[in-house]
Chains A and B, each alone.
Chain A
């Protein structure tokens, strides 16, 4: 029986969908559009301008283009994404997945298990763990490098960007690792075996057999983790964006202008930049999915 219509009447379909869609419309979709309007006002967090903001046109946007803190936040965000998402999570995830695949040992469970653990512990806790880990006087990292004769380093103060990049690599590699691990399992073992028989080493097997097979997954992974990493707020808990704004990624800058300096209107204009970045990567993701389906 062709039943797609008969289980639910048109009325029931609407009634089933409505509660979820209304909630999504009000608290997810509406804010995305309202932020465009807020960005055109001088809305403030408190005071007269909180109740009666006035329309200021594109003032906030043109101000952002002359704001060195905005450029600083953009720059730090790009370095953070390149370092922790691309060089960190994706590359480390790929190397680990390939090595563990080639070795087929019980190391796989150990490494996967540890990476997933780092990934799911609440962000406030991992931030605190890393503050302890990187502490100048008592932290484990400095104690370990002392064993090989290197002096104590004040990591969070002297190398804030490097610190949040290494932290975020630790935090997020699990996703790429798991994704690549399952992608590798779809490669027919005979491909690898015949390459081995022909005498191809690890490098050649990787570039000539493995890489072409997982190229689409690699692209998906890069798009997703780039989008997510632009939207990570956890570095705020490690450095607060400092010292002197050196690790102030875009999300921290949005928080600072809006909730520390109370300028919601200007914060909205800056938020719009992040929404546009997200939108671009979401479209890329959809295109990649579509292409993968048709290929």
Chain B
């Protein structure tokens, strides 16, 4: 009886694992298939789908657009959140706790979905519709609170001895920050940068709503358009494009799970 039960458990776990893996397996195999289809098609591997992709001008421009948007947003978030979290960690002013609570509430209440209408209207008033800047500013504001919380937790645990020593040497304010604090924050900043990059690189809704012209769309919107306009006949092209698009995220996944284990991802998304 006990053995039957255990066998059933293994079957259940195997079924769930297969269910999780099958769609992803398709993503890994189809781009290299000679006859790409919506089912799994195993042929001798070929790179023809990727060659075909290299002739698609919109697809290549979208890579550039995604890179511009993600990298600028990550830079803004990293610099501004490290400044703000340092000030929050090493000071005590009236209303500090209230400020942190308000940030926590607003960052979870005002999601991209709930705010797409007023954010669009705001960007329209500011003349920012169809610009990288609109998308970059909206992303940065959206991720800053989370970045500040992560970094503040991190700095709270960094001993103050270094800063005290620098203080004796006469460093103050921005000097102290750039020479002592910023380098100390390295590992925390890396976490924030990775988290922020993965989320912004993957986001669809914000550029979908704010960017109009095809020359400026990032990959997420480009894939959506390909799929809707060209549709299923170009399976090879779309799957190759999707795999290249997912590649940075997959590399982050491999690196993080090797270095920190899967548990690390629990703190990352949302």
A binding-site residues for B, Cβ under 8 Å: 1, 3-10, 12-13, 15-17, 19-21, 23-24, 26-32, 34-35, 38, 43, 50, 92, 96, 99-100, 103, 107, 109-126, 128-133, 135, 137-140, 143, 170, 174-175, 178-179, 181-182, 224, 227-228, 231-234, 237, 251, 254-255, 258-259, 264, 267-268, 271, 274-275, 278-279, 281-283, 285-286
Contacts and interface: CB of A to CB of B under 8 A. Distances in A.
Interface of B: 9, 12-13, 16-17, 19-24, 26-27, 30, 37-40, 76, 80-81, 83-84, 86-88, 90-93, 101, 103-122, 124, 137-138, 140-142, 144-145, 148, 160, 163-164, 167, 172-174, 176-177, 198, 201-205, 209, 219-220, 223-224, 227, 235, 238-239, 242, 245-246, 249-250, 252-253, 257, 262-263, 265-266, 269-270
Contacts of B38: 131-132, 135, 137-139
A264 B163 CA distance: 51
A29 B80 CA distance: 17
Given A96-B13, A128-B223, 12 more contacts: A23-B76, A29-B106, A111-B17, A117-B253, A121-B246, A123-B202, A132-B30, A133-B22, A135-B39, A254-B117, A271-B116, A274-B113
A121 B164 contact: no
B107 A119 contact: no
Contact of A9 (B22, B80, B111, B173): B173
Contacts of B20: 111, 114-115, 117-118, 170
Contacts of B121: 34, 38, 43, 264, 268
A125 B242 contact: yes
Contacts of A120: 198, 202, 249, 252-253, 265, 269
Contact of B105 (A140, A233, A282): A282
Given A4-B90, A6-B167, A23-B144, A113 B83 contact: no
A131 to B, nearest CB: 8
Given A13-B93, A35-B118, A129-B24, A122 B84 contact: no
A28 B110 contact: yes
A258 B117 contact: yes
A10 B94 CA distance: 12
A16 B84 contact: yes
Nearest to A185: B263
Nearest to A43: B121
A50 B129 CA distance: 14
Contacts, number: 295
28 contacts: A7-B163, A17-B84, A23-B144, A27-B122, A28-B107, A28-B110, A31-B122, A35-B118, A50-B124, A96-B16, A103-B9, A107-B17, A111-B13, A116-B253, A117-B253, A120-B252, A120-B265, A124-B220, A125-B245, A128-B239, A170-B23, A228-B270, A255-B209, A259-B120, A264-B121, A271-B117, A282-B108, A283-B105
A209 to B, nearest CB: 19
The SS class assigned to the B binding surface is: helix
Nearest to A129: B23
A118 B27 CA distance: 11
Given A4-B92, A13-B93, A31-B119, A231 B114 contact: yes
A20 B27 contact: no
Contacts of B27: 121, 125, 129
B23 A126 contact: yes
B233 to A, nearest CB: 13
Contact of B118 (A20, A137, A271): A271
B259 to A, nearest CB: 14
A150 B253 CA distance: 37
Contact of B224 (A13, A124, A258): A124
